[in-house]
Amino acid sequence: MRARRRIPEALAILARLQALHPAFSRLYQERGHCHVLLADAPAAIDALREAVRLNPTLPASWDMLEQLYRMLGDTAQAAMAAQHLATLRQLPSEVVVANSLFVDGDLAPAEEVIRDYLRADGGNVGALRLLARIRKEQGALDEAEALLKSALERAPDYHAARLDYAMVLLQRQKHLQARREAEHLLGHDPDNREYLKQYGAACVGLGEHEPVIDLYERLLSGQLQSGTEVADLRLWRANALKITGRSQEAIADYRAALAARPDYGVAWFGLANLKTYRFADDEIARLRAAESQAGIQDMDRIYLCFALGKALEDRGDYASSWAYYSKGNAVRRAASRYRPEVAESCARRLKHVFTAEFFATRAGWGVADPAPIFILGLPRSGSTLIEQILASHSRVEGTQELTEIDRYAGELCGRDPDCGLPLHPEALLRLTPEEARLLGARFLAETRTYRRLGKPFFIDKMPNNFWHIGLIHLILPGSTIIDVRREPMACCFSNLKQLFGTTNQEFTYGVDPVARHYRAYLDLMRHWDEVLPGRVLRVQYEDVVEDLEGSVRRLLAHCGLPFEPACLAFHETRRSVRTPSSEQVRRPIGREGLEQWRHYASFLVPLRDALGDALTGYRT
């Protein structure tokens, strides 16, 4: 349209494109071209400035900006644009093109261009960094890590690459390494806000929440870039306050985040996820108004729907509550790659590999250290309660949901690209006694950073470790394993109304996936009981509610620990708790969790049907 001088039609097309893809930089460059033809220099400059804000590697935009600024007599801005253009012209054209494609989300062509360039100039650290960033966005974190490590070996003072490296380490759950990289960067620039944020994120990953509360306050008192940055910092600080039990201060920060960004879905969800917070009438009205907007991002809509589901559940409006839970789950499920058949296939492969004979021929392998206590099962089963009870004992340290075992399984067996489950468990048939011993020793060494109190026992409360019981027994035969189980309707409903972070627990966003996952869990746990009889202690959540002291005594006896009354007063134990149950375990045990799902019984008939015989067989 522009080439035909049909400028109004061209601008109309660009407006439609902006509504669909507001961060696409080249639409603003094209809009700049249009306004140049209309002789509207200010509008052209506004469009081109937005283009280079989103994508600094657009030579044509910088070229036009230089000319427009000179035409208007703004020599300072013209010189700035000329400098940017000169910098781009010094770079290999392939790097500029690939970076521009990458910024606009065209990952496949960006990768193709930069790989072609690296075949001729494999030592170009800028190109290595760019390829690493592309691979990171494509989910290939292992390759991204290797590429950035290679770039830093060639150029140790390449701080932008080191920051990217720290971010990849963080995504790979290598929190201690990530913090070391952030510390290295802060040694060169102690006030750099991005380095400080990275350091704070690594501390959070390590379970060190108290220090980041002050760190985020320091950032909030500095030179803030935007309302979005204020909202993010307030949110992060609120999350740390919540985890450390300072709920009233957390509420104040969640509200401050919403003052900076009223439609900030994750902050609304943060309030709802406190479980004890009750929304006022005006807050529910604001939530409804924010969720009803047509142009909000999917994740904001998801957060808002789950927050509304909780707010209306608290008011007894179960029909409206379920409608919002269902809508949030549907939007979340649309972006999910989880497939129930993958989990069911994984369970079958694990059963085929981990036979009684497998364990009999490998008796005595691994490291027989009794320190680790693994609490596993399904999310929302009561595992945080059991963790809090045990962590109230003088000889047991609570840590967090550790990711080491899952990472080892991925290294040894590969991962299914959709669900992250072990892809080739038969690889463990090739493991040697020495390798099993080294892996057990590695676990004890790598988890030492989470053990700050020097107690003889520590807890790894990662629910998903039920997939890895065979590996755990092989490398840590002296450890304790506890399966926390909850009645299927209550457990599955609790998962359906809980939004988990990032791509965790994607089976929870639909009735059929959650029911089939529960059944796969029961099937695999029965197998572990058959091939490792007596190895796993099952704790039934309902039994703990009905007979707390009896359940606690049985639990402690299995762990080889003497009874301590503090375990009955678990709600008085002061410690950081990162799971959605953080506020609930700071109160005495109650019965409300047993019956909540019955308010939604009429909506849960498909769940009951999908669970089938699991409804009666979950205790066997």
Q: What is the pLDDT of residue 574?
A: 67
Q: What is the pLDDT of residue 588?
A: 67
Statement: residue 33 has pLDDT above 70 = yes
Confidence of residue 207 (pLDDT cuts 50, 70, 90): confident
Q: Are 125 and 153 in contact (CB under 8 A)?
A: no
pLDDT tens string 379-416? 999 999 999 999 999 999 999 889 999 999 999 999 99
Q: Which two tokens stand for residue 152?
A: 């830093």
Widest CA span in the chain: 85
Q: What percent of the chain has pLDDT above 90?
A: 81
Domains of the chain, CATH where assigned: 7-90 (1.25.40.10), 340-617 (3.40.50.300)
Kind of pairing, strands 480-485 and 457-460?
A: unpaired
Statement: residue 577 has pLDDT above 70 = no
At residue 480, what are phi and psi to the nearest 5 degrees?
A: -105, 135
* Tokens 């006030």 -> residue: 191
**Average pLDDT of span 346-375:** 97
Quote the CA–CA distance of 586 and 490 in Å, as a whole number: 21
Q: Which two tokens stand for residue 294?
A: 């047509």
Q: Are 29 and 17 in contact (CB under 8 A)?
A: no
DSSP-derived 3-state class of residue 595: helix
Per-residue b or e along 160-193, where b marks 16 or more CB atoms closer than 10 Å to that residue's CB: ebbbbbbbbbbbbebbebbbebbebbeeeeeebb
467: CB partners within 8 A, 6+ apart: 346, 350, 409, 421, 422, 524
CA 185 centroid distance within chain:
24
Statement: residue 297 has pLDDT above 90 = no
Q: What is the pLDDT of residue 582?
A: 47
